Amino acid sequence: MRHLLDSLQASLALSPVGIAVQLPGGQRLGDANAELRLQFRDRMGVVALAMGEIGHVGTAIVEGRVLLQGSMRQLMAAAAALLHSDPARDEQTRWWRRVLLRARSMAAHTRSRDARHIARHYDLSDDFYALWLDPQRVYSCAYFSVDGMTLAQAQQAKLDHICRKLMLRPGERFLDMGAGWGGLMLWAAEHYGVDATGITLSRNQHAHVQRLIAARGLQGRVRMQLLDYRALQVDAPFDKIASVGMFEHVGHAQMGQYFATLQRLLRPGGLVMNHGITAGGLDNAAGLGAGLGDFIERYIFPGGELLHVSQALQELARAGLEMLDVENLRPHYARTLWAWSDALEARLDQARRILHAQQGPEQGEKTLRAYRLYLAGSALAFEHGWIALHQILAARPTGVVEGAVLKGAQSDYPFNRAYMYEDRAAARAAPPDMLP
């Protein structure tokens, strides 16, 4: 234990922010005058901190075995310095381990289990999410395309960016797979005139979007279904499809079926956008190291699994889709998450009342501590490149060489990016209240 404490003392000295640590026996380490303070109630948490297992320290904080004083930004600055290795690259998974992980993935992602996983996270509390999301409740990476944007403006920019990339046109059949609280689907319907269908496994989200559709008079042109993506059957394929923040929940073992489903639902020549979190490393198939993956699985996203973008592209190609354009928005997600984290920190008393009323004081406090650490910790992970966010634009080729916008294109895509940004110059010159 003496060796571990010496190692911990040396690590604390390297932290860019002062940190005071109190051990279970009362011994104190670090900066006694620091605003960031950790009081450990058992040795397990101390060992985790000394070993750089910051995810397991997070678990101890959630469970009340470590008492925390200080801001989330201070804590994350210290956490990055206390790591002993890169969480995205310190787990070289052997072949037999990969076989076990695939078997576990297959078992974890049946339709019934996926429904339970989604309900546990997204049906937590609409009132709680409304405290820190933007007014449209867009729960995915924003796009800060203009300096000075607020979170709400950047989320509108993201919705519009996706619609532009998909070349949405009035009357087109548009599918939003994993539609959340309806932000993208409603934006596409109201700003681009599409006939929109959304699906979700969250009962809360389904009910919320149904109310919005009725309030905006969009019945008949916009619909929301409570449905697993594998169960969706249609009379005619969609012209355009978006999947935003959804394929993280699919699982490695189901990824081939996921992209095959997108291909089946898309008309020949149509476009599909897959917007999702990707792994920062190639060899961490079991998730982020340093206990971070275990924390997310336990408290936030049960069943969540990340692929490196190269692996996602392989699965997409095997399904018969052609990759057209890939954009990495990783630092945009870090900024989004810090905006969410700051908003939650500013409303902790309201969040506490909501969660206590729903879950009781003890569990409500655990949930609040978990989400505080999850939002700030995820921001840290995106800043450091341990995870990323990629928008992948793809098409289902027609197989017909003649007749496209460009000979051999075999899709709606013009094989240049100019159309995606055609109005951006004017948007930058205007106040960033709402993009056209």
Rounded Cα–Cα distance for residues 300 and 331 (Å): 21
Least confident of 39-43, 53-57, 305-309, 401-405: 401-405
Q: What is the mean pLDDT of the chain?
A: 88
Q: Is the pLDDT of residue 252 over 90?
A: no
Structure tokens at 60: 């101890």
Q: What is the pLDDT of residue 91?
A: 52
Q: What is the pLDDT of residue 299?
A: 84
**Lateral strand order in the sheet of 387-395:** 222-226, 195-200, 173-177, 238-244, 266-279, 387-395, 322-328
Structure tokens at 230: 């594998």
Q: What is the pLDDT of residue 224?
A: 97
Q: What is the pLDDT of residue 108?
A: 64
Beta strand 238-244 with 266-279: parallel, antiparallel or unpaired? parallel
Q: Is the pLDDT of residue 89 over 90?
A: no
Q: What is the pLDDT of residue 284?
A: 62
Beta strand 195-200 with 173-177: parallel, antiparallel or unpaired? parallel
Q: What is the pLDDT of residue 431?
A: 40
Q: What is the pLDDT of residue 275?
A: 98
- The one-letter amino acid code at 3 reads H
HEC string for the chain: CHHHHHHHHHHHHHCCCCEEEECCCCCEEECCCCCEEEEECCHHHHHHHHCCCHHHHHHHHHCCCEEEECCHHHHHHHHHHHCCCCCCCCCCCCHHHHHHHHHHHHHHCCHHHHHHHHHHHHCCCHHHHHHHCCCCCCCCCCCCCCCCCCHHHHHHHHHHHHHHHCCCCCCCEEEEECCCCCHHHHHHHHHHCCEEEEEECCHHHHHHHHHHHHHCCCCCCEEEEECCHHHCCCCCCEEEEEEECCHHHCCHHHHHHHHHHHHHHEEEEEEEEEEEEEECCCCCCCCCCCCHHHHHHHHCCCCCCCCEHHHHHHHHHHCCCEEEEEEECHHHHHHHHHHHHHHHHCCHHHHHHHHHHHHCHHHHHHHHHHHHHHHHHHHHHHHHCCEEEEEEEEECCCCCCCCCCCCCCCCCCCCCCHHHHCCHHHHHHCCCCCCC
Q: How confident is the model at residue 230 (pLDDT cuts 50, 70, 90)?
A: very high
Q: What is the pLDDT of residue 421?
A: 86
Decide if 409 contacts 424 (C-beta within 8 A): no
Q: What is the mean pLDDT of the segment spanning 55-83?
A: 92
∠196-202-206 over CA atoms, to 5°? Answer: 45
Q: What is the pLDDT of residue 411?
A: 96
Q: Is the pLDDT of residue 80 over 60?
A: yes
Question: Position of tokens 């000075």?
Answer: 148
Rounded Cα–Cα distance for residues 136 and 122 (Å): 15
The larger pLDDT score, comparing residue 11 to residue 174, is at: 174
Domains detected in the chain: 2-82 (3.30.1050.10), 104-429 (3.40.50.150)
* Residues 6 or more apart in contact with residue 436 via CB below 8 angstroms: 160, 423, 426, 427
Q: What is the mean pLDDT of the segment spanning 205-212?
A: 96
Question: Position of tokens 């699982």?
Answer: 251
Q: Is the pLDDT of residue 202 over 50?
A: yes
Rounded Cα–Cα distance for residues 181 and 122 (Å): 10
Structure tokens at 283: 């060899």
Question: Position of tokens 């040795």?
Answer: 43
In tens, the pLDDT along 304-326 reads 788 899 999 999 999 999 999 99
Q: Is the pLDDT of residue 332 over 90?
A: yes
Q: What is the pLDDT of residue 300?
A: 83
Rounded Cα–Cα distance for residues 97 and 116 (Å): 26
Q: What is the pLDDT of residue 109?
A: 62
Structure tokens at 247: 């394929």
Q: What is the pLDDT of residue 35?
A: 93
In tens, the pLDDT along 91-113 reads 555 544 555 556 665 666 677 76
Q: How many residues are there in the chain?
A: 436
In tens, the pLDDT along 135-183 reads 999 999 999 999 999 999 999 999 999 999 999 999 999 999 999 999 9
Q: Is the pLDDT of residue 212 over 70?
A: yes
Q: Is the pLDDT of residue 114 over 80?
A: no
Residue 67's closest CA among 22, 18, 4? 22
In tens, the pLDDT along 348-402 reads 999 999 999 999 999 999 999 999 999 999 999 999 999 999 999 999 999 999 8
Q: What is the mean pLDDT of the segment spanning 273-292?
A: 80
Q: What is the mean pLDDT of the segment spanning 73-88?
A: 85
Q: pTM value?
A: 0.90
